[in-house]
Amino acid sequence: MPLKKILSFISLGIFLAAIVVIILSFKSGSRVEKSEVDDIIGKGLNYKVYNNLQELSAEITSAFSKRDFDKSREPAQRERTLLTDIKGVIYKSKRFKNDLKFSGKSGYVENEYKNFLIKDNAKIESEDVILTSDRFFMEGSSLISNKSRTDFKLKNLKGIAGRGISYHMELGVINLLKASGTYIRSGKEYHFKCNRLMVLNKISRVVFKGNAVIQSDDSTMRGKEIILRFNKDFKILKRTDIRGDGYFYTKGNKRGEFRELLGNKIIAEFDENENIKKIDVTKNGIINLNADGNRLKAESDLIYIRFDHISSKLKNVKLMRQGKVNVSGKRLFDISSRRIRIQYDENGEIRNCNTNGDTVFTMSKYSGNCESLNFFPPENKMTLTGEKSVLIKGDNRFVSSEFIVNTKEEKLSSDKEIRSTIQLESDNSIFSKLPVFVSSKKIEIDDRSGSVVYSDDVSLFQKETKLNAEKVEIGKNKSINVSGKVRLTFRNGKDEIILGGEELKIDSEKNWLLISGKAFLREKGNELGGDYLSVIFNDKNEITRINGNKNINFKRKNVSAKSEKVTWKFNEKIITFITKAQLTKADSGSSSGDEIRFFIEDERVVIKSAVGKRSKTKID
């Protein structure tokens, strides 16, 4: 047989062996039972391969084939079989659910028949994939790759891979490098770009890696990696993952509406109609939601956002780790806590906000901290609970285990024992502008009327001033009304004054106080009592005069006195007893008259009676 013919048969055998290796790599578990060759090298090729079920598993045609040997190439590449006008099909099987077609103007096989190159208008296509480029290289176990620009169309994606592709057919994984293009979802077009685009057919995922961006005219997604998870046929989006410096923004239907989310990981899940049902944001999470005039900004390492499954309207926002929330618009408040939950009604209005653990807040005209806060905007009601909860209003600070606040009517109450620090706007005869410390079992504040009412075992302190009573009411003009077992201790100069009775009124404008109901005043061994005692102060808040009415009585060491009225010139140390006056000295007897003047320092007594009446003195 001529040498040329022998070489032709040898080359044909080599080429056919290469084709068998490629087909076997594509068809795992398919044993070749039969092959057909319709042509020989140099005159074109028609090659068919059948599996063990006698089914056609692959078909390749080439218009021309030629052996090429070059010692200068790497050992595995020295011997090639050159091909032109290549067309091929790998038919669907258990490993490939769709036929895969490939074509090119030229190409070759090499490396002991493991590598196959198609080039010049090269194209690979199936129902799921269309790839076009200047060349594709098939290598080893069903791998197709190149390093040049490739146009692609995959499922609902199309675009350009500027730095080539790799297609692991057996795994169902396509990698597209430096990819950009468009993504179609529900008939809407999104533009994307990334360093690497991966399509994972077997698990129905599309992955955008490295500086990934997907955006439309009303939405943007950014991150180091974006993962889209679909149902089996890629028709319904089930979930979106944004990882690494994630950013997600969407506009609403109304003017000014938007959702903006930032975090290391942002996961959004969708229902069967592709309506969003929940979003989770983790690590350095920040969300901004603006709708219907309400704006919410939240920050936490773990944020859950839930939507109504029918309307897709915002349902609730939960901060599951330490975080903070700012709400503006129709409602204004700032909250930080270990746990925060905000619920919305069907109209997008905040229905409830509650917290749990180390809560710090500012709401309306109030601020403070507590263990748990519950706010019900429709009812304008806020409750604070937790040991040593603190509520601050202006310069006033209140501490209790529970508070109830009506934010609209600006009313505050508590019946769980309160300690507070309040600041009076102006001086009065007893208290200055310095902080006043108050404790009681109950409190009621009406900011509109400007009144603060303490009740049940009330104590007020300011420096050396102390007030105890059952009830203390501080009015808008800073007048103070006190009732129930009243006892007031304060300093008049260097002297301590003690006042007691059933009711006490302090008038800051007139600079006087009135005490009634078995009232008494004690100072330096002197005690004055009566049904009513009024104490008048000068501009320096020093006592100048004391007036009394009904059942007046006075005691001092060995001196006692009674009358219906009394006037005590405090600085002059002169007491005048008026009407049915009586004064008794233990060592010198008693006197009576219409008016008795008593000089405290030397204990002199001057008696005066009305015209026609006589004063009486009885000497023991």
Give the per-residue pLDDT at 616: 58
How many whole angstroms separate alpha carbon 44 and alpha carbon 63? 4
How many whole angstroms separate alpha carbon 514 and alpha carbon 504? 6
Q: Name which of 115-129, 260-274, 381-395, 415-429 the model is least confident about.
A: 415-429
DSSP 378: G
Radius of gyration of the chain (CA): 48
pTM reported for the whole predicted model: 0.78
What are the E-state strand segments in 407-525? 411-414, 418-422, 436-440, 442-446, 451-462, 465-474, 480-492, 495-507, 512-523
Mean pLDDT of 265-286: 92
For residues 93 and 49, the answer to whether their CB atoms sit within 8 Å is no
What is the tens place of the pLDDT at every residue in 286-300?
Answer: 999 987 778 999 999
What is the tens place of the pLDDT at every residue in 219-241?
Answer: 999 999 999 999 887 888 999 99
Give the per-residue pLDDT at 14: 39
Could you tell me the pLDDT band of residue 61, with boundaries at 50, 70 and 90? confident
For residues 546 and 535, the answer to whether their CB atoms sit within 8 Å is yes
Res. 523: pLDDT tops 90? yes
Highest mean pLDDT among 61-70, 496-505, 583-592: 496-505
Give the per-residue pLDDT at 116: 83
DSSP 171-228: TTEEEEEEEEEEEEETTEEEEEEEEEEEEETTTTEEEEEEEEEEE-SSEEEEEEEEEE
**Phi/psi-derived region of residue 22, left when phi > 0, alpha when psi is between -120 and 50, beta in every other case:** alpha
